[in-house]
Each structure stands twice: as C-alpha cells, then as structure tokens.
Amino acid sequence: MCGDFGARYVPTPVPLPIGEPGEIVETIWAGVNERTRVLYLSHHTSGTALTLPVPELCRRARERGIVTVIDGAHMPGHLPLNLRELDPDFYAGNRHKMAWAIRATTRASSPSTRSKGHGTPLHT
C-alpha cells in the first residue's frame, strides 16, 4: 500500500529485554526523521506482551505534526483503555479477541478533535 502513495514503511525493531518504558520511546523515536508523516505502532504486542508507551509517543508525534495510527488489537477487554489519555489520531481494536464479540468485529476510533472523525467510532 505504501508504494501506491509514494510512501515507505520503515520498521523499527525494539530490542529485548527492555529495562524501562523510556527505552522503548527512545528506540522508536530514533527511527523518526523530518520525512516521517505517520507513526504506526501496536499498543500491546502479541509476541512479547509489551504494552508500548503510546501516550508519550503520541505526544511527541503531535508536536512534530506526525499522524498517529495505533493498532490496539489486543487491548479492548484485556487491559484498561482510555483513548482520551492515549490521544492518538486513529486507534483500531478487535472486539472479538477479548470482548467475546463475533469474529471480524472491529472498532476504529478517531478520538482526537484534530482528525476528521471527531471521536466518532467506525464499526465494520
């Protein structure tokens, strides 16, 4: 999809083990530069069970005018979730994984008033 828009996906691996959440922030932020337009990351990783410091990463991105897209597939119904505290531009989470909803039930939200959704949930 990136190629369709002249964009490039640049993964930033987070080495393990992690000593403190600040290390994650600095590792991910080291991959950001003046060409970065979107910061896409998982809220809670499936392979390592790490909950990433989304609020701090969203705050830094907002200061640089970078759009944040958070994959929250493992969060709804599993861990406390407050989108206003996280303050991403876009957040999507699968309801069927932990909320006992039917498969393929997803909630995508744009909680930020900076984005066009103005907090309206999108259901698929």
Is position 12 within any domain? Answer: no
37-41, 71-75, 79-83, 111-115, range with the lowest pLDDT? 111-115
- Residue 6 within any structural domain of the chain: no
The residue to which tokens 């998982």 are assigned: 42
Residue 11 placed within a domain: no
Given a contact cutoff of 8 angstroms between Cβ atoms, the answer to whether 94 and 105 are in contact is yes
- Residue whose entry in the numeric block shows the structure tokens 């290390």: 23
pLDDT > 80? residue 103: no
The H-or-E segment that residue 29 falls in is helix 21-29
Q: What range defines the domain where residue 94 resides?
A: 20-29+36-123
**Residue 67 domain-assigned?**
yes
pLDDT at 38: 94
CA-to-CA distance for 76 and 78, rounded, in angstroms?
5
Domains in the chain, number: 1
CATH number at residue 76: 3.40.640.10
Q: Is residue 13 part of a domain?
A: no
Task: Give whichever of 30-34, 41-45, 70-74, 90-94 has the largest mean pLDDT.
Answer: 30-34
- Within-domain flag for 8: no
| pTM value surpassing 0.85 | no
